[in-house]
């Protein structure tokens, strides 16, 4: 264990908090993976601030994500997303849940990689589809066959999400269970990095 003040009785969250140190924890992955909802629980457990980059983008622009895409297009949205995420990552430790395309953008990915520990919430198509089909807030899925679009995005993006420091399988279990799995993975990543 890298932190000598940790004791045997320390809880999962104490150990994960110590492992994170002053780094940020950044959640990446496809729409519906649970980045926003699981990230909030993880931050609460760790006792550090939580920020969702899409919520922050909507706050600063005073527009919804759908309105931004409609008014300015995806390229402008990505440019704004890069700036917002770069700023959010300046002060750690924080849990930052990103929008699904953020880590795919080269500039944003560089900022994420250098400012903390990235976690890919990886889910299969059926889990993602079950979740995203309930809401129509995601402009990229406003297509004739949104499930096929989601599958195409999986094929294009999964090799890039795989560059994240940690991968956690996002399954059909309670969000609190997923949050615990993220905490365990943070501890494991730290343990592995300090092994001789």
Ligand X SMILES: O=C(O)C1=C[C@@H](OP(=O)(O)O)[C@@H](O)[C@H](O)C1
Q: Which of 36, 45, 105, 170 binds Mg ion (CB under 5 A)?
A: 36
Could you say whether residue 32 binds ligand ADP (CB under 6 A)? Answer: yes
Could you say whether residue 33 binds ligand ADP (CB under 6 A)? Answer: yes
Could you say whether residue 146 binds ligand X (CB under 6 A)? Answer: no
Write the DSSP symbol of residue 99: P
Is the CB of 33 or the CB of 187 nearer to ligand X? 33
Residues 6+ apart with CB under 8 A from 172: 127, 130
- Scanning the structure block, which residue is given the tokens 């949050």? 179
Could you say whether residue 101 binds ligand ADP (CB under 6 A)? Answer: no
Residues 6+ apart with CB under 8 A from 100: 28, 29, 30, 31, 33, 35, 153, 157
Query: Is 174 known to sit in a ligand binding site?
Result: no
Asked whether the beta carbons of 99 and 54 are under 8 A apart, the reply is yes
Q: Which of 6, 10, 64, 139 binds ligand X (CB under 6 A)?
A: 139
Binding footprint of ligand X, residue count (CB under 6 A): 11
In whole angstroms, how far apart are CA 101 and each of 104, 138, 140? 5, 11, 10
Output the smallest distance, CB 149 to ligand ADP, in A: 14
Judged by CB under 6 A, which stretch of 5-13, 98-106, 122-130, 186-194 contacts ligand X? 98-106
């Amino acid at each position: 264990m890298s932190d000598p003040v940790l004791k045997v009785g320390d809880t999962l969250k104490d150990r994960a908090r110590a492992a994170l140190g002053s780094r940020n924890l950044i959640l990446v992955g496809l729409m519906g993976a649970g980045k926003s909802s699981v990230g909030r629980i993880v931050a609460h457990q760790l006792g550090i601030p939580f920020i969702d980059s899409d919520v922050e983008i909507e706050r600063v622009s005073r527009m919804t994500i759908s309105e931004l895409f409609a008014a300015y297009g995806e390229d402008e949205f990505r440019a704004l997303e890069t700036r917002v995420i770069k700023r959010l990552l300046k002060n750690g430790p924080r849990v930052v849940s990103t929008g699904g395309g953020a880590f795919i953008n080269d500039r944003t990915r560089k900022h994420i990689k250098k400012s903390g520990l990235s976690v890919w919430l990886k889910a299969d198509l059926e889990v993602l589809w079950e979740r995203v089909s309930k809401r129509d807030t995601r402009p990229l899925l406003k297509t004739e066959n949104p499930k096929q679009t989601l599958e195409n995005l999986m094929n294009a993006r999964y090799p890039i999400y795989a560059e994240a420091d940690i991968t956690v399988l996002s399954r059909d279990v309670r969000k609190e269970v997923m949050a615990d799995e993220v905490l365990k993975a943070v501890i494991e990543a730290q343990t592995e990095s300090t092994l001789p």
